[in-house]
């Protein structure tokens, strides 16, 4: 039985990915800050572990348990992350650093600690959940997009480093997925910059974000879980998979029509 670890598994895409890998016959470890929120996954056969991806001690504890019980993982899904939105002028650098800890440095540390066992096996798949935001940008999303662009560049270099060891690295770029992302993003925006120089812009982005999520407007997380399953089981996976509402057209507009046209597309949504 092959072993997988899915981070950020207490909700949304992480939960859906864990469920799919269980269906695929994997021994699945699931990690998140709130272990009680993964009781449903435990009932399905997953092994829940408490882990704050920004804390070294938590990461090491999870790795030690997995190495002791399973000898390592065949599949690592770096899914844990969140979106920090706000004007660059208003977002404190401590907040920005924490965004990088969760979205980049934490997953990087977890990967470092699990790699020796993967190399010893001469096989493995690392799936990094990025975003269409790893290829594009949106208004007031400077710090979030910075982390996702960084994750993608890191993944590309890692893919080259690990190829000779039989370890594959895959990037997933979801579009608008039905998770709690939108509500958390909008609430944080208004709290941080609902008044002041950027108030009008902030309110417009918050309203647009709330309107984009809920009532079936986004893509079901199960779609991303299916993509992960496909990438894991394909002999030669793509380096990137794009899936979910808006992802393919938004990335294409940025790529083929350039920044100025993309700027106009983004700003048109704020009216």
What lies within 8 Å, CB to CB, of 119 at 6+ separation is 165, 167
Query: Could you give the 3-state DSSP secondary structure of residue 124?
Result: strand
Distance CA 132, CA 11 (A): 20
- Dihedral sign from CA coordinates of 143, 104, 182, 258: positive
pLDDT digits (tens, 9 = 90+) for 125-150: 999 999 999 999 999 999 999 999 99
pLDDT tier at 214 (50, 70, 90 boundaries)?
low
Residue 212 has pLDDT above 80, yes or no: no
pLDDT digits (tens, 9 = 90+) for 168-190: 999 999 999 988 777 778 888 88
Report, as residue numbers or ranges, the catalytic residues.
144
Q: Is the CB of residue 241 less than 8 Å from the CB of residue 231?
A: yes
**Model confidence, pTM:** 0.95
pLDDT digits (tens, 9 = 90+) for 79-96: 999 999 999 999 999 999
Q: Can you give the pLDDT at residue 251?
A: 97
Query: Could you give the 3-state DSSP secondary structure of residue 264?
Result: helix
Q: Can you give the pLDDT at residue 67?
A: 98
What lies within 8 Å, CB to CB, of 268 at 6+ separation is none
Helix (H) or strand (E) holding 121: helix 106-121
What lies within 8 Å, CB to CB, of 71 at 6+ separation is 3, 117
* Structure letter (DSSP) for residue 263: H
């Amino acid at each position: 039985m092959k072993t997988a670890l899915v981070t950020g598994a207490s909700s949304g895409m992480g939960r859906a990915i864990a469920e799919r890998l269980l269906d695929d016959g994997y021994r699945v470890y699931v990690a998140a800050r709130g272990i009680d929120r993964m009781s449903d996954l435990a009932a399905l056969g997953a092994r829940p572990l408490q882990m704050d991806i920004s804390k070294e001690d938590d990461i090491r504890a999870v790795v030690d348990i997995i190495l002791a019980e399973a000898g390592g993982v065949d599949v690592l899904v770096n899914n844990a992350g969140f979106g920090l939105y706000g004007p660059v002028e208003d977002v404190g650098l401590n907040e920005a650093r924490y965004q990088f800890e969760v979205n980049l440095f934490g997953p990087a540390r977890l990967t470092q600690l699990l790699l020796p066992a993967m190399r010893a096996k001469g096989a493995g798949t690392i799936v990094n959940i990025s975003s269409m935001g790893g290829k594009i940008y949106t208004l007031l999303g400077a710090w979030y997009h910075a982390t996702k662009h960084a994750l993608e560049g890191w993944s590309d270099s890692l893919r080259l480093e690990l190829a000779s060891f039989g370890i594959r690295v895959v990037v997933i770029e979801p579009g608008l997925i039905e998770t709690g992302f939108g509500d958390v993003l909008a609430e944080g925006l208004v709290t941080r910059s609902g008044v002041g120089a950027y108030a009008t812009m902030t309110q417009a982005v918050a309203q647009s974000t709330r309107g984009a999520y809920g009532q079936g407007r986004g893509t079901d997380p199960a779609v991303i879980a299916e993509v992960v399953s496909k990438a894991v089981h394909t002999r030669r996976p793509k380096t990137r998979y794009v899936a979910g509402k808006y992802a393919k057209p938004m990335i294409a507009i940025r790529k083929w029509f350039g920044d100025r046209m993309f700027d106009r597309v983004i700003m048109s949504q704020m009216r």
